Amino acid sequence: MIVVPGPSSKELGTTVGQILRLKAVQLEFKHFPDDENYIRFTGEISGQDVTIIQSTGPPQDQNLIQLLIIASAAKDLGARSVIAVVPYLAYARQDKRFRPGEAISMMTVTRLLEASGIDRLITVNIHSQAVLRSLRIPGESLSAISLLAEHFRRLGLKKPLSIAPDKGASDIAIEADEILKGGHGWMSKERDRITGEVKMEERELNAKGRDVVIFDDMISTGGTMVAAAAMLTKHGARSVYAACVHPLLVGGAQEKILASGAREIVGTDCILSPVSKVSVAPIIAEALRRYM
């Protein structure tokens, strides 16, 4: 197996290659003056099992098209097989029609991934498992929650409470609690589908005097974490931390979350950001070992 670190995940791809002692083939990459992508493999691809590591965080469309070009070029150059490691899979939140007439964007993305010659997809904490079920190639979603929880264990917090900001993320809080062992719970979130505004309904959280870590799959605008951190502070939490796998952090999310009372925001390098303090390289390497 050889590893090809894509332009959006150069560091992560290189680290995974080093952990597995794989040969890395670098890409020559540039934008044409009109912003179209140019990609060229600088090493031999023919006959190889190729693993591409390319996340599709912002700018999503740019990173996605690069992934498609790299994968189809690898096949075109004679790769025996192509595994795409896409730590953050863009569009996974639009996996169904929430309002009449909406595009199911994820369906378009999955069809493009399949058509590009990718034989297997590996992603991390995909927003919806339904996406994997609709894929016509094998796909799996790894979990980075234990890596995030380990980070908080090392901080030395006193049996922190693991909280999910909505019921849908309660599995994440349960997973974190297996390491943090301070108990877990979930909040009741309502989002206005048109304005995007987030509201938290009152419910018993048993957070008084506790260190609390809010775990979510992603932070985008920060609306969810802001509302969750504010409510936990109101409930008397001693300290509040915000943790996510995918720190998209758009529109000043980081500043807003810190202003709402959270002490720290911790994310992974699924998407490189100022809060990417935890690397998912070990879990990706472990998953790839099965195919070497």
CB of residue 135 to ligand R5P, shortest distance in Å: 20
Which listed range, 1-9, 52-60, 138-146, 218-226, lies at the site for ligand R5P (CB under 6 A)? 218-226
Among 6, 17, 223, 261, binds ligand R5P (CB under 6 A): 223
- The position carrying tokens 């690898």 is 74
Q: Among residues 116 and 254, whose Cβ is nearest to ligand R5P?
A: 254
- Rounded least distance, CB 257 to ligand R5P, Å: 9
8-state DSSP, 21: T
Provide the 10 A C-beta neighbour count for residue 165: 29
**Residues in region 161-190 near ligand R5P by CB under 6 A:** 165, 168-169
Residue 87 or residue 165: which is nearer to ligand R5P going by CB?
A: 165
Residue 224 contacts ligand R5P per CB under 6 A: yes
Distance of closest approach, residue 29 Cβ to ligand R5P, in angstroms: 29
Cα 203 vs. chain centroid, distance in angstroms?
A: 28
Closest to ligand R5P by CB, 2 vs 205, is: 205
Smallest distance, ligand R5P to C-beta of residue 100, A: 21
Residue 124 binding ligand R5P, by CB under 6 A: no
Q: Which residues pair with 84 in a beta bridge?
A: 52, 121
Determine, following the binding rule CB under 6 A, whether residue 219 of this chain makes contact with ligand R5P.
yes
- Gap between the Cα atoms of 13 and 22, Å rounded: 11
Report helix, strand or coil for 88. Answer: coil
CB of 179 to ligand R5P, least distance (A): 20
Are 216 and 244 contacting, i.e. CB atoms less than 8 angstroms apart?
Answer: yes
Task: Say how far apart CA 103 and CA 258 lie, in whole Å.
Answer: 34
Catalytic residues, by residue number, are 189
* Distant-in-sequence, close-in-space partners of 98: CB < 8 Å, separation ≥ 6: 193
Contact by Cβ (8 Å): 61, 68? no
218 binds ligand R5P (CB under 6 A): yes
* Residue 286 C-alpha from the chain's centroid: 17
Q: Which of 119, 177, 216, 269 binds ligand R5P (CB under 6 A)?
A: 216
Q: Which of 128, 125, 131 is CA-nearest to residue 146?
A: 125
Does 220 interact with ligand R5P (rule: CB under 6 A)?
yes
Q: Shortest gap between Cβ of 222 and ligand R5P (angstroms)? A: 5
Q: Which of 23-31, 102-110, 148-156, 216-224 is the region at the interface with ligand R5P (rule: CB under 6 A)?
A: 216-224
141 belongs to the binding site for ligand R5P (CB under 6 A): no
User: Quick one: which of 57, 117, 222, 261 contacts ligand R5P (CB under 6 A)?
Assistant: 222
Instruction: Spell out the residues 6+ positions from residue 290 whose beta carbon is closer than 8 angstroms to its own.
Output: none
Euclidean distance between the first and the last CA atom of the chain, given in angstroms as a whole number: 6
Q: Give whole-number Cα distances, 53 to 11, 150, 249, 286, in Å.
A: 10, 24, 21, 14
Which positions touch ligand R5P (CB under 6 A)? Answer: 165, 168-169, 198, 216-224
